[in-house]
């Protein structure tokens, strides 16, 4: 007997990176309740993480480039599935909708300056675009965002 026989899993959290000039949190907000499909993830490691994202998981949206900061929260509305626009079965996407903008965005600099985050993949693997986010770190980020 496993502990998850009914298929329920507590919501996990992930950070998703995006270049805001390509697709921003504001774009996701404009998509409203119907949300959007998060596609374009091609990196093998990022895809492994993306495929573990389930409906109901919390998503931190991070802007790369000039901003380099966590700007908003979103929620997965459809667990990972093969990209319908791609022939390659390995490519996966999720659906998501915006939840809320962070009161005060959390900068990469702020995260780097806090030793609690030093082993986190966002810091360790700067090119990873889908970053699993352990609960304690999620809590810290949400605290920093409200301050």
Tokens of 94: 């999720």
Give the chain's length: 147
Q: 122-135: string of b/e by CB count within 10 Å (b at 16+)?
A: beeeeebbbbbbee
Pick out residues in 54-73 that bind DNA (CB under 7 A). 64-65, 68
Closer by beta carbon to DNA, 19 or else 135: 19
Instruction: By CB under 7 A, tell whether 48 contacts DNA.
Output: no
Nearest to 8 by CA among 64, 48, 77, 55: 55
Helix (H) or strand (E) holding 124: helix 121-124
Instruction: By CB under 7 A, tell whether 112 contacts DNA.
Output: yes
Instruction: By CB under 7 A, tell whether 119 contacts DNA.
Output: no
Q: Which one of the spans 40-48, 76-84, 95-103, 138-146 is the region binding DNA (CB under 7 A)?
A: 40-48
Closer by beta carbon to DNA, 64 or else 79: 64
Answer for which of 21, 100, 126, 143 binds DNA (CB under 7 A) is: 126
Closer by beta carbon to DNA, 31 or else 123: 123
Instruction: By CB under 7 A, tell whether 9 contacts DNA.
Output: no
d(CA 8, CA 100): 25
Pairing state of beta strands 58-63 and 13-18? parallel
CB of 61 to DNA, least distance (A): 13
From first CA to last CA, the distance across the chain in angstroms is 44
**Interface positions with DNA (CB under 7 A):** 17, 19, 42-45, 64-65, 68, 108-109, 112, 125-129
């Amino acid at each position: 007997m496993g502990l998850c026989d009914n298929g329920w899993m507590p919501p996990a959290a992930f950070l998703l990176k995006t270049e805001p000039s390509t697709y921003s949190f504001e774009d996701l907000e404009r998509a409203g309740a119907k949300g959007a499909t998060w596609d374009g993830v091609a990196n093998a490691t990022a895809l492994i993480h993306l495929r573990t994202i389930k409906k109901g998981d919390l998503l931190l949206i991070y802007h790369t480039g000039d901003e380099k900061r966590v700007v908003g929260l979103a929620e997965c509305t459809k667990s990972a599935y093969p990209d319908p626009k791609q022939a390659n079965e390995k490519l996966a996407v999720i659906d998501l909708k915006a939840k809320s903008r962070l009161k005060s965005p959390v900068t990469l600099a702020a995260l780097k300056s806090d030793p609690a985050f030093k082993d986190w993949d966002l810091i360790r693997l700067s090119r990873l675009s889908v970053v699993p986010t352990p609960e304690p770190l999620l809590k810290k980020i949400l605290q920093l965002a409200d301050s």
